[in-house]
Amino acid sequence: MRMSHLVDILTSMPLEVLVKEVRAEGSFLHAHFEVLEHVSCAKIPRLVLRHASTGTEVDVISDLADPSAPVRDEVTRSLLGWDPRVRELACLIGDWARLYQAEMPPKIGFPNSYTFRLTGFHYLMIRPRGPLLPALAATGTSLCSAALSPGQMTAVRQLSAKELFLEWLGHLAAAGDPDRGLWANLRKPWETGPGPQKVRWGVIDPVSGRNLTNFRGMQPGVIANVAREVICDENTRFSSLRHSRL
């Protein structure tokens, strides 16, 4: 998969106006950007653009649609600034979500790139072989940096973002098992969700505290299958490369 850069932008312009400007022949934005994704039906509409000359991806939300956007933007900056691999992983997750959006279309309720990225941040907090990210503080936009010991950080120091991405895909694939599920709360990463049910599904927005997705119907199985497909492709590619060097 291609690595891209990620920039988050908060705009006061309605996203519909921005989309028209980017797609308008002869405009400055049309010459320099292309529309990758416009999720207009979500509770928090988002627009993802790609800068033509650098490949930088720009994730745009409007403060007209989301009054909490400035705080959410600050939370994202805190997470991405913790370690360069966090940003790289977020880019890989965004690429993956867009590459397979035909199989997992947000328009019918599948998680969008932002929601998938939250599950990636969450995985880095609960990673079984050592976390890379600390939890978010109970309130505000800071991270609980004291929660990670030097020994825990050493356990992941040599791993690349690509390796962490494949681990995250394995995490999604396992979550699709009938007795597993996925509950991602960045402020309480080890929380397994409310209620008496054994299998819980949800991704909690770190600002509003609401559940962004319930993974309805067959969605968990579809997401798990797509994750397994990518893992299988990567393992096949690695095996072919190893044999070619023998």
CA dist., res. 166 & res. 189, Å (int): 20
Host domain of residue 187? 71-238
CA dist., res. 131 & res. 147, Å (int): 10
Is there a domain that residue 55 lies in? Answer: no
Q: What are phi and psi of 185, to 5 degrees?
A: -130, 110
Is there a domain that residue 66 lies in? Answer: no
Is there a domain that residue 84 lies in? Answer: yes
- Which is nearest to 140 in space by CA: 221, 91, 72? 72
Tens of each residue's pLDDT in the chain, 246 residues: 444 556 777 788 888 999 999 999 999 999 999 998 887 776 678 888 988 888 888 888 887 777 777 888 899 999 999 999 999 999 899 889 888 989 998 878 888 888 999 999 999 999 988 899 999 999 999 998 766 655 555 556 778 999 999 999 999 999 988 778 899 999 999 988 776 665 578 999 999 898 988 788 889 999 999 999 999 888 666 444 334 434
Residue in this structure with the two tokens 């891209």, named with its chain if needed: 4
Is there a domain that residue 197 lies in? Answer: yes
List the CATH number of the domain containing 123: 1.10.1410
> What's the structural domain count of the chain?
1
Instruction: Please give the angle made by the CA atoms of 133, 137 and 139, to the nearest 5 degrees.
Output: 145
CA distances from 179 to 122, 194, 220, 224 (A): 20, 16, 12, 13
DSSP per position, 167-190: HHHHHHHHHTSTT-EEEE-TTSTT
